C-alpha cells in the first residue's frame, strides 16, 4: 500500500516532472498532400483559408469548419461558409486580403488556383496544402487529412468511414444493374461533357451508367451535337446553369429520333450535388442512380 507521505511526495514532484514532457497539442502534425508534398505544422491549424468552394466544403465536413477564417467566392456550403471573408476568386486570389487573415494553413486547389500566386505563399511563412480530389476515395482521404491538420481527426474519420460504407453499399446494390448509355451535359455553348476520369462519370458508373464519351482525352471535352446523335444515348442528364429549369434539356427534343428523347429520358440533376468532389457527391450519386432506374423502367 502506498503511504500518505509517498502520495504527497509524488503530488509535489509530478508537476515538475511533467514540465519536461512534450505537450501533445504542440506536437508536429504532418500529412502528405495531393501533390505528394509533406505538409507539417507545429500544432493543429487554428486559422485556415480555403482556395476553392470544394475545399471549403471538405474542411467543414472534416470538422474543421470553426477554424476556417477565409475562402474564395462561391464558397456557399454549408450556410456558414457564405459568411466567411473573401480572398478573391479561385482563379485570381486577393493576396492582400489573404495575408490580412493571418492564416496558419492555406489549402489550395491544385488544378484551379493560379500557381504563380500560390507559390508565393510559403515566402510569407504560410504552409500550403495542395488539394486535388477526383473520386470518392480522394474525398475520404481528404477528410482524414484535413481532420489531422485541424485537430478534428475523430470527426473526420467518422465522416470518411461513413462515406466509404455508403459508396460500397451503392456499388453492391447496382453491381448487376443493366448498363444505361448516358450523355452528361456540362455546358450548352460550346457543348461540353465529362470523360471517364471525371468524378461525375465515376458516379454514373457506380449506378450502371455508361458514359458514351468516357474515352475522350480532356477531363471536360468539347463535342458536337452530331457526335451525341451518332452515339444515341438512352438518357441525357444535365445540371443546367444551376436552376431547376428544362431549357437545356428541352433543346434535345429537336431530335425526336434519339432514344433518350423518344423515351423521355431527359433528366435534370441539381448541379450543387455533382459538380464538386465533396461528400455531397454521394447525395448526387443517389439522384443519378434514381434517374437511371427510371430509364431502365422505360425500356
Residue 248 and residue 164: Cα distance in Å, rounded?
Answer: 33
Other CB atoms closer than 10 Å to residue 143's CB: what's the count? Answer: 30
The fold adopted by the segment(s) 174-297 is: Rossmann fold (3.40.50)
The pLDDT of residue 247 is: 82
Please say if the pLDDT value at position 296 is more than 90.
yes
Across 172-179, average pLDDT: 96
In the numeric block, which cell numbers belong to residue 212? 458514351
Do 194 and 219 form a contact (C-beta atoms < 8 A)? yes
Is residue 49 predicted with pLDDT exceeding 60? yes
Domains 24-165 and 174-297 share a fold: yes
E-strand ranges in the chain read 29-32, 38-41, 48-50, 68-71, 88-89, 92-93, 105-109, 128-131, 180-185, 209-211, 235-238, 266-268
For residue 114, the SS3 value is coil
pLDDT at 241: 66
Strands 68-71 and 88-89, how do they pair? Answer: unpaired
Q: How is the chain split into domains, by residue range?
A: 24-165, 174-297
Superfamily holding 24-165: Nitrogenase molybdenum iron protein domain (3.40.50.1980)
pLDDT recorded at residue 4:
39
Q: What is the pLDDT of residue 1?
A: 41
pLDDT for 9 equals 37
Q: What is the mean pLDDT of residues 251-279?
A: 95
What integer pLDDT is reported at residue 111 of this predicted model? 87
**Residue 192 DSSP label:** B
Q: How confident is the model at residue 245 (pLDDT cuts 50, 70, 90)?
A: low
Amino acid at each position: 500500500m502506498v503511504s500518505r507521505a509517498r502520495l504527497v511526495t509524488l503530488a509535489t514532484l509530478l508537476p515538475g516532472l511533467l514540465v519536461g514532457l512534450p505537450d501533445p497539442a504542440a506536437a508536429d502534425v504532418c500529412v502528405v498532400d495531393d501533390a505528394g508534398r509533406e505538409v507539417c505544422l507545429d500544432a493543429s491549424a487554428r486559422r485556415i483559408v480555403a482556395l476553392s468552394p470544394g475545399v471549403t466544403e471538405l474542411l467543414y465536413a472534416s470538422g474543421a469548419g470553426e477554424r476556417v477564417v477565409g475562402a474564395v467566392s462561391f464558397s456557399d456550403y454549408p450556410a456558414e461558409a457564405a459568411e466567411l471573408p473573401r480572398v478573391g476568386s479561385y482563379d485570381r486570389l486577393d493576396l492582400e486580403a489573404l495575408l490580412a487573415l493571418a492564416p496558419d494553413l492555406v489549402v489550395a486547389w491544385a488544378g484551379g488556383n493560379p500557381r504563380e500566386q500560390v507559390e508565393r505563399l510559403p515566402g510569407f511563412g504560410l504552409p500550403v496544402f495542395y488539394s486535388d480530389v477526383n473520386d470518392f476515395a480522394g474525398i475520404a482521404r481528404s477528410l482524414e487529412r484535413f481532420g489531422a491538420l485541424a485537430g478534428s481527426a475523430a470527426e473526420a474519420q467518422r465522416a470518411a468511414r461513413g462515406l466509404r460504407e455508403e459508396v460500397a453499399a451503392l456499388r453492391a446494390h447496382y453491381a448487376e444493374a443493366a448498363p444505361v448509355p448516358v450523355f452528361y451535359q456540362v455546358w450548352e455553348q460550346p457543348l461540353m461533357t465529362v470523360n471517364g476520369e471525371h468524378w461525375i462519370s465515376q458516379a454514373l458508373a457506380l449506378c450502371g451508367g455508361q458514359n458514351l464519351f468516357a474515352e475522350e482525352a480532356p477531363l471536360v471535352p468539347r463535342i458536337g451535337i452530331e457526335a451525341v446523335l451518332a452515339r444515341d444515348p438512352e438518357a441525357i442528364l444535365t445540371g443546367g446553369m444551376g436552376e431547376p429549369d428544362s431549357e437545356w434539356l428541352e433543346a434535345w427534343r429537336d431530335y425526336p429520333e434519339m432514344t433518350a428523347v423518344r423515351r423521355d429520358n431527359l433528366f435534370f440533376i441539381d448541379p450543387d450535388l455533382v459538380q464538386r468532389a465533396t461528400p455531397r457527391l454521394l447525395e448526387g450519386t443517389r439522384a443519378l442512380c434514381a434517374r437511371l432506374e427510371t430509364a431502365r423502367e422505360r425500356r
